[in-house]
Amino acid sequence: MTAWATVKRHARALLTALAAVAVLVSPALAMRVSPMVVEMESRGTNAVARIEVQNINPGNLAFQTRIFRMEIDKDGNIVETPADQDFLIFPPQGVLPASGRQVVRLQWVGEGELAASQAYYVSVEQLPVAFEPGSADALGAQVQVLYNMRALVVVAPPGAKPDVKSTTVKQVMYQPPALPGSNELPPMQDGVEITLRNDGRRHAMMSNFGWQLEGTGTDGKWLRVDISPEELNRAVGTGYVPAQGERVFRVPVPGFGPGPIKLSFKQ
């Protein structure tokens, strides 16, 4: 087996393990929102979009929607600002029976001539509902767990294009974040740190592409690792790079040495 095949197998095993852990710690949700990523434009037919809210609870589900403008820095830190005024939402709230569905219509009413893409979260928040008389919950302690799901919505200028290039690709030892619900940090991880710069006026979702890394392994031999879009979604999410902005991503791909690493994107 070649060094490339060996490290590729190990990298995929790591990504799969991370995904498996995430599934194990995820709670059973009371609702489903789809799609989770919505791309719109500031003018024309694409200035309108739809998301669907589904009740997967045995009882009624009351919900409301709110919108937040999202500013994201190169390390993925997010600052949110309420921005309900930039969209017309119908209906802004509702009550769904068990297995019920509701299509929520989003219409952009902000600036028609954007300088560059703007990112938002549409937050679908579960509201408390009264327990039915005689139910086990009503007779006992009245505790409700309320869920909040968010869809990423990005509004771009019509006709704008992304222009993404890698500015830095290097081997690093990095600290993965703690798993949800845990204060304990995982062990340090051998991987690759990638800085992507987008000089275009439109955002980019870089997990839509396969990433190919080529360089020299720790044994001094040539090494290539291919990461599929599915693996990237598990490791870095959508790979969102803002228009005229920069993002740093760290992927758990071990085996590269300190020398230069080439990154290319594959459809």
Burial of 158 (0-12, 13-18, 19+ CB in 10 A): middle
Give the C-alpha separation, 86 to 219, whole Å: 54
Same-domain check for residues 14 and 44: no
**Domain encompassing residue 8:** 3-22+161-266
Residue 69 sits in the same domain as residue 117: yes
Q: Does 199 map to a domain?
A: yes
Residues 60 and 14 both lie in one domain:
no
**In terms of domains, do 81 and 194 share one?**
no
Does any domain span residue 30?
no
Q: What is the pLDDT of residue 130?
A: 66
With bands split at pLDDT 50, 70 and 90, how would you rate the model's confidence at 191?
very high
Boundary-marking domain end, from 131, 156, 181: 156
pLDDT at position 145 over 70: yes
Asked whether residue 173 falls in the same domain as residue 248, the answer is: yes
pLDDT single digits (tens) 228-258: 999 999 889 999 999 999 999 999 999 999 9
62 in the same domain as 148: yes
Number of domains in the chain: 2
Give mean pLDDT, residues 107-127. 94
- What is residue 20's predicted lDDT score, i.e. its pLDDT? 35
Domain edge (last residue) among 123, 156, 189: 156
Residue 28 lies in a domain: no
pLDDT of res. 134: 56
Phi, psi (deg, nearest 5) at residue 104: -105, 125
Domain boundary among 130, 156, 182: 156
Task: Report pTM.
Answer: 0.80
Statement to judge: residues 95 and 11 lie in one domain: no
In which band, very low, low, confident or very high, does the pLDDT at 1 lie, cut at 50, 70 and 90? very low
Residue 162 has pLDDT above 60, yes or no: yes
Q: What is the domain-level CATH number for residue 74? A: 2.60.40.10
Based on the fold, state whether residues 175 and 258 are members of the same structural domain.
yes
CA–CA distances in Å: residue 161 to residues 117, 148, 230, 231, 237: 10, 32, 24, 25, 21
> Both tokens of residue 266?
């594959």
For the beta sheet containing 31-34, the strands, ordered from the edge strand earlier in sequence to the opposite edge, are 31-34, 48-55, 101-108, 87-90
SS3 call for 177: coil
